[in-house]
Amino acid sequence: MSLKTFLIGQPIDSVKEKRERLNKITGLAVFSSDAISSVAYATEEMLIPLAMLGLMAVHFSIQISAAIIALIVIVALSYTQTIRAYPNGGGSYIVARENLGEKTGLVAAAALMIDYVLTVIVSISAGVAAITSAFPSLSLHTVLLCLLSLLIIIVVNLRGLRESGAIFSGPVYVFIGSLLLLVAVGAYKFHGGMVKPQNVFVAGALDAVPTFIILRAFASGCTALTGIEAVANGVKAFQAPESRNAAITVTWMAAILGVLFIGISYDAYVYGILPKDGETVVSQLASAVFGIGPIYYVIQFATFFILVLAANTAFADFPRLSSILAADSFFPRQLASLGDKLVFSNGIILLGVFSAVLLVVFEGDTHLMIPLYTIGVFIAFTLSQAGMVVHWFKKREKWWIFSMTMNGVGAIATFLVFLVVSYSKFVLGAWIALAAVPAIIFFMHKIHTHYKSISEQLAPRELSSASEYAHHSVIIPIGGVNKAVINSIRYAKAISNDVTAIYVCLDTSKATITKELWDKFGMKVPLLVLDSPYRSIIEPVVDYIEEVRKDYKNGVITVILPELVPSRWWEHLLHNQTALLLKGILLFKKGVVSTSVPYQFE
């Protein structure tokens, strides 16, 4: 137990736990790391398809950025309406299920799962890219650094990290501050003629740039929107008036996100920065503006930390969604809330394992993951906004037409982006996310069907099923005579008058010793010695049990297995393996119950 305690800490007492209420400053820190951190990679992702076509194409980056800013405004305004309608938290799954029905809710749930896993891996790999940009020799160990960061996040979450303002505020505000400084000083130095652009992007003939590439750049840049819904999920965490504070926080978040995104895109444009292998666009910009010095390193580390916090948010959200789904019987029940830490641990470990596998498969390369990321996010956006449209139409509260319009515009805009992303990024990996959605739904459906069929099969009907057994026999397979075995005989005699011990003889001299000891300690229980021509221990025991089963058709048999309970957890691994095997076999035999009688050491 001590290793587990050391790694993940004492269990949390759910009764004592109190949630800290967040003000707007701390609320922004806690809920915006996911959204704001995406400026670390969004500009770069937008530039990559353009730069492949050449300098003329890059010219369009400013227009594309402007379109994305417009989208940010639309989605943020749309979410302020969700906050008003769902003061207890309006996650996409809940909003979609309540307003668009269970099936649509499952689509949203599947999209969110993909979203969470990709938030983890995109954020971690982009964070590690910030570090390897500053220290290029580390780039050989990208996957290792990604896995280490992931491991730290998993352990911290298993220990039960609270999303406290104190922890989040530092990195988030340092990031916001240092990037605002970068954007402002960058623009100032350029207009003061203090720097020379590395490339000059001039507009070429419009028809030289295929629309498809423009769309692809736009789709990639839309990663800036990921995480914008976080506040809507956590309205309850704000100080009163919750909805109002949350709505103001969303507005601020969108404003900061927009300024940083357009700022970085603009500076990268005027400085003539192109995406390149081994160094991020933000790192190139920071070194062009400030040189490699203290401010540069602050920016790189702040980027790493805010991205780690972004990955961390998924570790809070995924177990929460899992527990809601489990309560609705769409996910294994051990992920449903039992009120203690244990349950969320399952969700954390599940997300951790998925993320680790994908980090290895994608080799920690952000660019490869981005096409998958945007799909999940925009499906969830669309369904959530569409759900809100239905919500307003049904409720018809004050201002409902205004709110419905806002959400309607949001739904249409995000749906169009979903189409653009699916189309322009299909072969780059969007197809994986598109295929994963039905696969996850199928999986959830299977689980749901199983739980339903089980509960139907278990419903008590005929009174005749509650009849008494005509006989009870006890069988104790033994491998020798020791205190654990004696303990089992005592138990056997307490539960039945028909007890037989059986010993499988592999070695006649050992059998003789066992028989002698049995005469002394066996409490007059008969001992049956069985031969085993094939040296199997399991087979003769199972054969004997079958015989007894035939003799007493309406009886029940208990097979008693002595079980050693060592004092240290790892010692468990060293015992009781044959018993486990036998129990596994007996599990499927009707009228046979196997019981381990524990023997605790002093």
Among 3, 292, 454, 528, binds its own copies (CB under 8 A): 454
Can you tell me which of 398, 468, 550, 553 binds its own copies, judged by CB under 8 A? Answer: 468
Q: How far is the CB of 449 from its own copies (least distance, A)?
A: 11
Distance of alpha carbon 570 from alpha carbon 511, whole angstroms: 31
Binding to its own copies (CB under 8 A) within 362-381 occurs at 363
Query: What does the alpha-carbon distance between residue 17 and residue 47 come to, in Å, rounded to a whole number?
Result: 46
413, 71 contact by CB (below 8 A): yes
Q: Which of residues 136-155 bind its own copies (CB under 8 A)?
A: 140-141, 143-144, 147
Binding mask 184-213 for its own copies (x = CB under 8 A): ------------------------------
CB of 473 to its own copies, least distance (A): 10
Rounded to the nearest whole angstrom, what is the least distance from the CB of residue 546 to its own copies in the complex? Answer: 16
Asked if 600 and 565 count as a contact pair (C-beta separation under 8 A), the reply is: yes
Residues 14 to 33 in contact with its own copies, rule: CB under 8 A: 14-15
AA letter at 288: A
Q: Classify 10 in phi/psi space as left (phi over 0), alpha (psi -120 to 50) or beta.
A: beta
From CA 1, how far away is CA 231, in angstroms rounded?
A: 38
Classified as helix, coil or strand, 579 is helix
Q: How far is the CB of 59 from its own copies (least distance, A)?
A: 31
428 is an interface residue for its own copies by CB under 8 A: no
- Binder to its own copies among 354, 431, 451, 552 (CB under 8 A)? 451
Question: Minimum distance between the CB of residue 504 and its own copies, rounded to whole angstroms?
Answer: 12
Taking the complex as a whole, how short is the minimal distance between the CB of residue 1 and its own copies, in angstroms? 11
DSSP secondary structure, 264-309, as one string: HHHHHHHTT---BTTB-HHHHHHHHHH-SSHHHHHHHHHHHHHHHH
**Number of residues forming the site for its own copies (CB under 8 A):** 80
Closer residue to its own copies, CB minimum distance, 207 or 456: 456
- Distance (Å, rounded) from C-alpha 154 to C-alpha 19? 21
For the bound state, the minimum distance from the C-beta of residue 577 to its own copies, rounded and expressed in Å, comes to 4
Q: Residue 207: how many CA atoms within 13 Å on its side-chain side?
A: 0
555 three-class SS: strand
**Shortest approach of its own copies to residue 563 CB, angstroms?**
8
Instruction: Kindly state the smallest distance separating residue 590's Cβ from its own copies, in Å.
Output: 6
Return the number of the residue (200 or 513) whose C-beta is nearest its own copies: 513
Nearer to its own copies, 72 or 499 (CB): 499
Distance from C-alpha of 162 to C-alpha of 21, rounded to nearest angstrom: 12
Half-sphere exposure of 47 (CA within 13 A, CB side): 27
Nearer to its own copies, 113 or 489 (CB): 489
Residue list 81-120, contact with its own copies (CB under 8 A): none
Q: Among the residues of 159-241, which ranges form H helices?
A: 165-191, 211-221, 230-233
- HSE (CB half, 13 Å, CA atoms) of 162? 11
Compute CA 537 distance to the chain's CA centroid, rounded to the nearest angstrom. 43
Q: Which is nearer to its own copies, 151 or 166 (CB)?
A: 151
Q: How far is the CB of 373 from its own copies (least distance, A)?
A: 21
Stretch of 18-26, 111-119, 206-214, 461-469 lying at the interface with its own copies (CB under 8 A): 461-469
Identify which of residues 393 and 443 has a Cβ nearer to its own copies in the complex. Answer: 443
- Using CB under 8 A as the binding rule, the residues of this chain from 316 to 335 that contact its own copies are 332-334
CB 179 within 8 A of CB 39: yes
Residues 534-593 that bind its own copies (CB under 8 A): 534-537, 556, 558, 564-566, 571, 573-575, 577-578, 581, 587-588, 590, 593
> For its own copies, which is the closer residue by CB, 103 or 572?
572
DSSP state of 430: I
**What's the 3-state SS for 341-384?**
HHHHHHHHHHHHHHHHHHHHHCCCCHHHHHHHHHHHHHHHHHHH
- Contact indicator for 302, 286 with CB cutoff of 8 Å: no
Among 18, 16, 17, 21, smallest CA distance to 236 is for 21
Tell me the window of 317-325, 386-394, 430-438, 446-454 that interacts with its own copies (CB under 8 A).
Answer: 446-454
CA-CA distances (angstroms) from residue 143 to 139, 314, 356? 9, 20, 10
Determine if 598 is a binding residue for its own copies (CB under 8 A): yes
* Given 206, 255, 360, 416, the residue binding its own copies (CB under 8 A): 360
Closest-CA residue to 223 (of 348, 79, 118, 363): 118
Among 88, 467, 497, 508, binds its own copies (CB under 8 A): 467
Residue with tokens 């995104």: 261
Interacting residues with its own copies between 249 and 308 (CB under 8 A)? none
Indicate whether 6 belongs to the interface with its own copies (CB under 8 A).
no
Least Å distance, CB 586 to its own copies, is 8
Within residues 486-545, the interface with its own copies by CB under 8 A covers 486-487, 489-491, 493-496, 517, 520-523, 534-537
Please select the residue that binds its own copies; options are 108, 109, 388, 481, rule is CB under 8 A. Answer: 481
